[in-house]
Amino acid sequence: MSFLDQQYREIITKAVIGKGRKFTQDTDIITPTHRPTSILGCWIINHNYHAKLVKKDVVEIHGSYDVNIWYSYNDNTKTEVVSERVEYCDKIPLSIRDKHHLGDACEVIAKAIQQPNCLECTIETRGNKIKVDVEREFVVEVIGETKICVKVDPKGRVCDDDDCDYSISDDELESIDPDFFSHDDEE
Sheet bearing 8-30, strands edge to edge: 96-97, 8-30, 130-151, 102-123
Looking at residues 70-87, what average pLDDT do you find? 94
Residue 187, Cβ density class (10 Å: 0-12 exposed, 13-18 middle, ≥19 buried): exposed
Bigger pLDDT: 60 vs 162: 60
State the amino acid at position 186 in one-letter form. E
CB atoms within 10 A of CB 122: 13
* pLDDT > 70? residue 6: no
Beta bridge partners of 85: 66
Of all residues in the chain, what percent carry a pLDDT higher than 90? 53
Give the pLDDT of residue 162.
64
Give the pLDDT of residue 54.
87
Task: Give the DSSP per-residue string, 50-98.
Answer: EEEEEETTEEEEEEEEEEEEEEEETTTTEEEEEEEEEEEEEEEE-SEE-
User: Which secondary-structure segment (H or E) carries 174?
Assistant: helix 170-174
Give the pLDDT of residue 40.
95
CA distances from 67 to 30, 45, 50, 124, 144 (A): 8, 7, 19, 16, 36
Give the pLDDT of residue 1.
44
Looking at residues 140-164, what average pLDDT do you find? 78
Looking at residues 106-130, what average pLDDT do you find? 91
Least confident of 2-11, 41-50, 148-157: 2-11
Quote the distance between the C-alpha of residue 123 and its chain's center.
32
DSSP character at residue 123? E
CA distances from 63 to 47, 82, 92, 184 (A): 7, 20, 13, 50
Domain ranges of the chain: 12-151
CB atoms within 10 A of CB 59: 26
Looking at residues 6-13, what average pLDDT do you find? 82
The count of residues in the chain is: 187
Read off the pLDDT band of 184 (50, 70, 90).
low
* pLDDT > 70? residue 171: yes
* pLDDT > 60? residue 44: yes
Average pLDDT, rounded, for the chain = 85
Give the pLDDT of residue 187.
46
Least confident of 82-86, 96-100, 105-109, 142-146: 96-100
